[in-house]
Amino acid sequence: MAIKNSLLASLFLVVLFGSGAWAQQDAQYTQYMFNTMSVNPAYAGSRGQLSVAALYRSQWVGVDGAPETWTLNLHSPVRNSRIGYGISIVNDKIGEGTIQETYLDALVSYTIDVSLKGKLSFGLKLGGNFLNLDFEQLRQRPGFEEATNTDNIENKFSPNFGLGLYYHTDRFYAGLSAPNLLETEHFDGSSNDANDIDFLSQDRINFYMITGYVFDLNDNLKFKPALLTKVVGGAPLQVDLSTSFLFAEKFSLGAAYRWDAAVSGLAGFQITDQIMLGLAYDSETTSLGDTQFNSGSFEVFLRWELVKSFEKLVSPRFF
């Protein structure tokens, strides 16, 4: 039990405060290739039709109070224009409600043709997040019994905005983005006590680079390698590599590797022309993955798109 308590305390310290007294940054996804709008606002409207997607991620299954993330986004092009729009809602929960952050964002993009098949989009995101932190619940966690007596934080709103660039053809895509450009301070900074937590937690800017290419191996088989790189000050470079095979435009199977963090398996099913289901499972390669209390992380992704029978795409995009 002592090992588990130590693990829980470490988990909350890392997630709450991070290295060098900085908060955990943007939500992490294994199926980022199907959830691009969450990291790049320029993706809004790029699929050419109304697209609604939901994603649930449960991180470090078996660890009490481990993070859970719910994501819902909607985006579409504006008919007969170069403009796209989107709405994104993300809810992060840690410790069964000890910490909750809800992000509400509106996105707009503008797309220009740069070649016969290439399109370049510029994206803007406007919104913010609501933070709830229950210090009473926190004090009940192992290792936090002597935590600060600071009053609970309830629905503290912090505005933010982000920018992105996204280029794509029918086979290739690449994007650069910074979804949250304001470095918000969540606590008042009045404490000089290293054991007190009200001086901690400031967001830092996360920069993303994403790219991928689709190869036709034969008439019924496609292969797509993809890369996502995240850079944030004060934290190690994060690199996600993935490879996926698409069979008969219906079933995808792949694997991913998060540098020095996790290996993953991915599967996708195009259930109908309109509905796609995606699944992913992560196995930690860090010391956290060596414990008997961590059974890995998993994601479930569901997308619905307005594809009418007379507008059915001959070859749906694999991104």
Q: Per-residue pLDDT for 188 more than 90?
A: no
Residue 282 has pLDDT above 80, yes or no: yes
The position carrying tokens 């920069």 is 207
Q: By C-alpha distance, which of 172, 262, 298 is closest to 226?
A: 172
Q: 21 falls in which pLDDT band (50, 70, 90)? A: very low
Tokens of 145: 């019994």
How does strand 99-113 pair with strand 83-94?
antiparallel
Q: Which of 22-31, 108-117, 149-158 has the lowest mean pLDDT?
A: 22-31
pLDDT digits (tens, 9 = 90+) for 48-104: 999 999 999 998 887 777 889 999 999 999 999 999 999 999 999 887 778 899 999
In the predicted structure, residue 194 carries a pLDDT above the cut 50: no
Question: Tell me, what's the pLDDT at 24?
Answer: 44
DSSP β-bridge partners for residue 213? 172
Is it the case that residue 284 has pLDDT exceeding 60? yes
107-136: pLDDT as tens digits: 999 999 999 999 999 999 999 999 888 877
The answer on pLDDT for 241 being more than 70 is: yes
Check pLDDT > 50 for residue 310. Answer: no
Mean pLDDT computed over 30-54:
92
Question: What percent of the chain is modeled with pLDDT above 70?
Answer: 78
Domains of the chain: 25-182+203-305 (2.40.160.40)
Q: How far is CA 233 from CA 20, 28, 182, 194, 270, in A?
A: 10, 16, 13, 21, 38
pLDDT value at residue 261: 84
Q: Taking the CB of residue 276, how many other CB atoms lie within 10 A of it?
A: 21
**What pLDDT was estimated at residue 154?**
87
pLDDT at position 14 over 60: no
Say if CB 58 and CB 66 are below 8 A apart: yes
Are 163 and 181 in contact by the 8 Å Cβ rule? The answer is yes
Q: State residue 11's pLDDT score.
A: 53
User: Residue 19: pLDDT band by 50, 70, 90 thresholds?
Assistant: very low
Q: Is 291 strand, coil or helix? A: coil
Give strand pairing partners of 255.
243, 265
Query: Does residue 231 surpass a pLDDT of 60?
Result: yes
- Taking alpha carbons only, the member of 318, 243, 238 closest to residue 286 is 238
User: According to the model, what pLDDT value does residue 313 have?
Assistant: 52
Note the helical H segments in the chain. Answer: 2-17, 135-139
Is residue 106 helix, strand or coil?
A: strand
Dump strand ranges (E) for 81-150. Answer: 83-94, 99-113, 119-133
- 81/233: higher pLDDT: 81
Query: What rounded mean pLDDT belongs to the chain?
Result: 83
Q: Residue 125 class from Cβ within 10 Å (0-12 exposed, 13-18 middle, 19+ buried)?
A: buried
